[in-house]
Structure 1
Amino acid sequence: MKRGSFGLGYALRLGASRIAYETRVYFRQGDTIFFTFLFPVVLLGIFSVAFQGMGNVGAGPDGSGGISQAAYYLPGMISAGILLSGVQNLGVDIAVERGDGTLKRLGGTPLPVLSYFIGKMGQVLVTSAAQILILLLLARFAFGVELPTTAEAWLTFAWIYLLGIVTSAILGIAISRLPRSGKSATAVVIPPLLVLQFISGVYLPFNNLPDWLQTVASVFPLKWIAQGMRAVFLPETFESAEAGGSWNLAGVAIALGIWLVAGLVVSRLTFRWIRKDG
């Protein structure tokens, strides 16, 4: 049959089947599992143990109050996991598939582009949700972190997570055009994302950064994802430490929405089954 002769229902069914395929392939790659899936989990464990001797974060002058190091780093690790699962995972994966000819071969089959992306997006949602579940279980049962108990907090978590992971995945598709070969994909994609993690309030307190660096970080989505997650998991007493003294969840939604639209436009304009220069 000719490409495009299948209906939307067929594309959706095929896309759903590709979610399982893409997820299996994902978990067969050892380097991907460690540097994308387990990396935030490992870092949460390391930071929680290494810094516990420093006492609670936000404690009073007498050392009382505050929250544990594990509780403080949990929202940052969740945010980093969202970035890695979406941007790094798809940015590298699609670039490799373009470089090794996978996209060219798929381009010669009746596979709809929609089905391909449903598979990729579904894999990101499945693996990122599993990653966050592990982070929450580790924080709760290994380090005694008190998780939110209100429906409002979990609803806030749900929309920030969904908006953040979809935006990250779309941006991953968009930047997959940057590497000129599959071999250079990790070198092109990973370093900028590592820098973003350091300047976006994931590993370092955001309010401790110079004002100009805070301004730079505020341009990118990770800062807003991390800020939203802090609003969910940190006590209200930490709100005053945010830029402007507020969680600014409206700003989180607007910033991520802008990046989502920008990523969709770039992906639509640049994605090809076969490179024009290849």
Structure 2
Amino acid sequence: MTTLTIPRLPAGRSLRLGGSRVVNEVRAYFRQGDSVFFTFLFPVVMLTIFSTAFSDQSFGTDDTGADVTAAAYYLPGMLAAGLLLSGLQNLAIDIATERSDGTLKRLAGTPLPVSSYFIGKIGQVLVTGAAQAALLLIVARVVFGVALPTEAGAWLTFGWVFLLGVTTSAVLGIALSRVPRSGKSASAVVIPITLVLQFISGVYLPFSQLPDWLQNAASAFPLKWMAQGMRSVFLPETFESAEPGGVWNLAGVALVTGLWLVLGLIVCRITFRWIRKDS
């Protein structure tokens, strides 16, 4: 039985193999219509629906007293949801399918190290996640007239929240891929998890309006913190008081998301197999 073993290859060669895997993974990703819609375009579609359906409503006011539109209010949540979908949902389903259809078993018979395989998967998520975020920002600005931040500090915060969030989501997706027993059941297992997390983490519903026990439950997972970090970038300071504790708490965003990244890496290291033990 093949287990998680990393061949003793030079680090440079592993990186080169991983880089070539990134290119192949990105190409394969955009050839799958269902993946493109349910992970890449889904946040854009949801932003469009919410922005259109609630176009006549105000979600608060900014520092100048101007109304905050639905598009401006939902943009941070959709950016955070995009990280979860591109990383956790996409990789959990994709790797479970590859394990089920024999792709991983075939890769086990090649000199490809596990580290290069991981580089390919995480690199694909970084590329597609960045493209998705860029598309969301373009649609929000051009179609719905959302004013984007002009301060360098805001974009710096966006950068580290994005990188930490998308990497954590990707690693957790690799770890979660062990749960579905087959590729056919992967969507049924993974999609409900991501949907529930989105509804309780302030993506579709205002987080402050959720019951305290549900807020506490959501705070144990990284999506709530990723959404909070994105809100600190794109929403006016007047919205900070609506957050738990009345602050954006970016230190908490980094801490909780980072802890999940470490936990995901540990789980991947312990549990990843080219094939299932019970296969």
Q: CA deviation at 1:96?
A: 0.4
Deviations 1:86-120 (A, max 9, x none): 00000100000000110000001111111111110
In the alignment, residue 97 of structure 2 is paired with which amino acid?
V
Q: CA deviation at 1:5?
A: 4.9
Question: Which residue is equivalent to 2:122?
Answer: 121
Question: Which residue is equivalent to 1:225?
Answer: 226
Deviations 1:220-240 (A, max 9, x none): 100000000000000000000
What TM-score do you get using the length of structure 1 for normalisation? Answer: 0.96
Question: Which residue is equivalent to 2:36?
Answer: 33
Aligned residue for 1:180, secondary structure, equals coil
Give the distance between the partners of 2:263 and 2:209, measured in 1 at CA: 30
Give the distance between the partners of 2:155 and 2:170, measured in 1 at CA: 22
Give the distance between the partners of 1:9 and 1:245, measured in 2 at CA: 47
Within-5 A mapping of 1:1-278: 4-54=7-57, 56-59=58-61, 65-278=66-279
Aligned residue for 1:149, secondary structure, equals coil
Identity of aligned residues (%): 69
Give the distance between the partners of 1:80 and 1:59, measured in 2 at CA: 24
Give the distance between the partners of 2:267 and 2:80, measured in 1 at CA: 23
Give the distance between the partners of 2:7 and 2:196, measured in 1 at CA: 42
Give the distance between the partners of 1:245 and 1:191, measured in 2 at CA: 31
Q: CA deviation at 1:8?
A: 1.3
Structure with greater contact order relative to length (CA < 8 Å, sep ≥ 6)? 2
Give the distance between the partners of 2:252 and 2:97, measured in 1 at CA: 35
Give the distance between the partners of 1:102 and 1:122, measured in 2 at CA: 19
Structure 1, 220-229 or 267-276: larger mean CA deviation:
267-276
Q: Cα RMSD between the aligned structures?
A: 1.1
Aligned residue for 1:53, secondary structure, equals coil
In the alignment, residue 51 of structure 2 is paired with which amino acid?
S
Aligned residue for 2:56, secondary structure, equals helix
Deviations 1:29-62 (A, max 9, x none): 00000000000001111110110122x21149xx
In the alignment, residue 205 of structure 1 is paired with which amino acid?
P
Q: CA deviation at 1:275?
A: 1.5
In the alignment, residue 30 of structure 2 is paired with which amino acid?
F
Give the distance between the partners of 1:221 and 1:177, measured in 2 at CA: 20
In the alignment, residue 155 of structure 2 is paired with which amino acid?
W
Give the distance between the partners of 2:194 and 2:61, measured in 1 at CA: 31
Displaced runs of 4 or more, over 6 A: none
Aligned residue for 1:52, secondary structure, equals coil
Deviations 1:111-143 (A, max 9, x none): 111111111011000000000000000000111
